[in-house]
Structure 1
Amino acid sequence: MVHVRSHIYRLADIWVSRRRRVCGPRAVPTDARSPVVVITGASEGLGLALAHVIAREPASIVMVARRPEPLKQAMQAVIAAAPRARVLCLALDIGRDDAGDVRAAYVDEHRLYVDVLINNAGIGVGGPFSEIAARDVETLLATNVTGATRLMHRFLGEMRARGRGGVLNIASLAAFAPGPWQALYFASKAYLLSLTAAVASECAGEGVRVCAIACGPFETGIHVKMGAATTLYRALIPSDTADRMARRSWHAFRMGHPVVIPGFLNGALAWWMRALPFELIVPLLNVLMKPRRWEFGLRLGASRKAIAARAAYAARARRSRLG
């Protein structure tokens, strides 16, 4: 099965590059360097799952995250699962102004060049917009918007000059409508989706893929951190696994699709969010996204023990935010 997928990916590479034109005065020399996949937010969740999926090919990977210790543990887990892959890690906050230059210097030092950039790092802030701390507003914008944009701008020119490579931006279903109680997060994902679709059109025919994945709900810690674990939305919509979402995302990117909504249910939700007028969708999302003071037990297959564990985890997260 792995060999069949590899053959399909090679055919997709040929199709995407069939009328490839090199953009710029000359191609960037890569004879002495090897291609690498850079993944931000790779210490947990979807970023870590993507690292596992890509390492199986095998491929060279640079895992990037803010916290050094969880990042090292994640790197060791990927190496243990895929010994043939070359895996490196770089502790870096992508919200820094010089994050792109620091990353470029790191890959140059290891005789690599960025072939694929995966902008997965992101944070969420929930609650009434006017009550969000100014520091949290700046941090979210620096990570979800400014950081992703700078990295994409820093490396995309080199990819176009080589006539190969790509950028995979992890967006969300939140990109398709305004989201009360998570206004900043929804707006940041809408920006990322719009930017990706526009740049993908600019790069058409150059052999460079630019893709956005509009993920639906899946098991990740971001919902708890932003206070969304007790919303009707999280209770009524079944969650996917990070591993399955990673496999779908990487497959869609390799096939060259500019905007992908993985899963039938997610596709139906996206259609619904785009089809309804603002006068209906915003009040409805206001009800669905409003945090509750109690934990829902409506999710299919959820045992009482699992519900209690989620409630305790959400309570600890709320206490950590307050303290």
Structure 2
Amino acid sequence: MGGGACWGMWGGGGGGEGGGMESVVEVGGLRKAYAGRAVVDDVSFTVGEGEIFGILGPNGAGKTTTVECISGLRVPDGGRVRVAGLDPASDRRAVTEVLGSQLQESELQAKLTVREALELYAAFYPRPADWRVLAERLGLTSLLTKRFGVLSGGQKQRLFIALALIGNPRVVVLDELTTGLDPRARRDTWEVVEDVRNRGVTVLLVTHFMEEAQRLCDRIALIDKGRITALDTPQGLIARSAGSTVISFTPSAPVDDEELAALPALTSIEHKNGRITLSGSDETVNAVISLLVRHHITAHQLRVTDATLDDAFLTLTGATS
């Protein structure tokens, strides 16, 4: 069995970006087609030990097929995949001992209790994690006697994370982890994912939620139509986008349009119901504040919104999120 975080003792080390760490997942020139249509087309990336690596893209982009090839659930048509040095296609059994997965639309038998599910999955591994410790850490202890069919969406997701971790994996694949969850359950699940990484497990996170990727990931591969269109840190992707910083306020006195138009890095001006909205950069923000101070004008309800991963996604893929 591959060495991973000691989940039985809930131990492990911290994480970081893949650039300075040993690669635990390697994908090179990956290809997969269905009925002659390329779903994954020459995808290449590496994932560092202890990293949260995001695969981000719209529905149908090829994200799930990519991680299914990594997990050994599908055989690639071409390219190379290695997980901890193992080929998922030819070393499937060995890969299951170093990689755990929570796949999209996972389900269990409705009458199975949480305890029964944990005990069943623990029996699949020669040296499993202590499921009681996992249950306690993931907030499942009070649910042990509940049947799967009556669990809420968030409770099911926590159970699937526990099942993905019960084999003491070095790598865990989480595919569309928070789809269908309410905002509170989604944020609770994010905290669990961060804790999983902090305990020493490498996380491969598949999502189409921009906020989720920006919050959790050390690096992100943007996939569109089966190809990687960009790969960088969240801030690196945002810096490469055409997204603007937006400044909006209601001035206490009229502001000269010619002076506004002369602001540095300004890309647009909008007046609506006495409110002014400007698009530009950090330089624009500083300049407009200086302009208002010089004219003794107060900016009521001032709002400054930075560019986001949504902006980067739209710029770098040309798609809608």
TM-score by length of 2: 0.31
**Which one has a larger percent strand, Structure 1 or Structure 2?**
2
**Which has a greater percent of helix?**
1
Greater CA radius of gyration, 1 or 2?
A: 2
Highest relative contact order (Cα 8 Å, sep 6+), 1 or 2? 2
Provide the TM-score with structure 1 as the length reference: 0.31
